[in-house]
A and B are shown apart, each in its own frame.
Chain A
Amino acid sequence: EAQVTQNPRYLITVTGKKLTVTCSQNMNHEYMSWYRQDPGLGLRQIYYSMNVEVTDKGDVPEGYKVSRKEKRNFPLILESPSPNQTSLYFCASSARGYGYTFGSGTRLTVV
């Protein structure tokens, strides 16, 4: 089944403790992207990647890092999480022109 898999689905962590949210797609898509969804603010892009080793900042990149060492994987790294990064995170992938396929989401709480 074609899908984008994110892990974990739920995560509660403490301020300053580094964490990684994994994202993997099995559709051989070139494009991958991370979004966060917050009430009243909608979906905002954090980082995106156009192919292996090609990444760029989205609208709200501060406090996040990404890497794209393999085509299928696009992890999101929070080096020092803070409470304002409490949010619902979505990974997505796309082939050009086809629209994005989204993962099921990761609900992160930073206390």
Chain B
Amino acid sequence: DVVLTQTPVSLSVTLGDQASISCRSSQSLEYSDGYTYLEWYLQKPGQSPQLLIYGVSNRFSGVPDRFIGSGSGTDFTLKISRVEPEDLGVYYCFQATHDPFTFGSGTKLEIK
């Protein structure tokens, strides 16, 4: 199975600062069709996860442009510029390139 290793496990950020989360895969996530099925989700406290980024760097509808996904192959990053209070929660990366699909273990973002 593909293992997605997220770092850091937790992150404490001052409002207005930037946050950066890494997701490293045990295998390349580029599929034979050339697409990379790597996504980012945010689970706010007490809520269901919500999609932020798909295909490495595409923001889902309604997601602020403060959220920027990047990377390729096995290394991916989610950057959140100008962190706002509503950004707190747990961030998960997810891959659907290889079967079985797998999630990263999560990164908890706290506001200082």
On whether the two chains bind one another, the answer is no
**Chain A residues in the interface with B (C-beta under 8 A):** none
**Chain B residues in the interface with A (C-beta under 8 A):** none
